[in-house]
Amino acid sequence: MGGQLSRVVSVAGCQGQVGTRMCQASLTSVCVKVVAMGKLWIGETNGCWVDVWDKPGFAGHHRRLLGPADFPYLRIAEQGWNPQVLSLVAGPNAYAQFYEDLNFHDSVFWVLPNQRVENVAELGCNDEIDSLRIYDRPPFAHEPGYAAYMLWAASHLTRATKTE
């Protein structure tokens, strides 16, 4: 019945059209239609997002990508966008895995929570990156890209301790 539910209920003491005439004492069945209403709940963000810009220095067109989610081939550009992401920021709970041609087993690089990349060209990556996976946690040891995550995180930890 097109999303509607029908239910037969017994009305004690009434016969005929209920509410429009006097009722005679008997038991009558009345068909009642109940319409089910859908609900779409909106949740709050948990800090799992990556902001991307099409120019270095957090300039140009901007888009926030909410996670956890997969963005194969980064199909996010609108008309007038530069064909590359040139700067980005990871949210406070975002672990972003960047990879090439859906090959997330051999991740190219990771961006960790609160990391800001003013110019993607400075990441020192020669691969053609075209896909992104955003987690709200670090990857588990059995997941694709874990080895690359450990290498990437260790190299950034080493750089951070050398600059202090």
The DSSP secondary structure of 102-113, one letter per residue, reads T-GGG--EEE-T
Of 119, 120, 137, nearest to 109 (Cα)? 120
> For residue 73, which phi and psi values (nearest 5 degrees)?
60, 15
Contacts of 56 (CB under 8 A, 6+ apart): 86, 87, 118, 119, 120, 121
Q: How far apart are CA 69 and CA 133, in angstroms?
A: 6
CATH of domain 49-163: 2.60.20.10
Q: What is the pLDDT of residue 28?
A: 60
For 54-89, b/e burial (b = at least 16 CB within 10 A) is bbeebebeeeebebeeebeebeeeeeeeeeebbbbb
Question: Residues 9-40: pLDDT tens digits?
Answer: 444 444 544 444 444 555 566 666 777 788 87
- pTM of the predicted model, to two decimals? 0.67
Report pLDDT digits (tens) over 43-95.
777 899 999 999 999 999 999 999 999 998 888 778 888 888 899 999 999 99
- Domain boundaries for CATH 2.60.20.10 within the chain: 49-163
- C-alpha 104/C-alpha 100 separation (Å) is 7
Q: What six digits make up the tokens of 164? A: 């202090």
For residue 68, say if its preceding peptide bond is cis, omega within 30 degrees of 0: yes
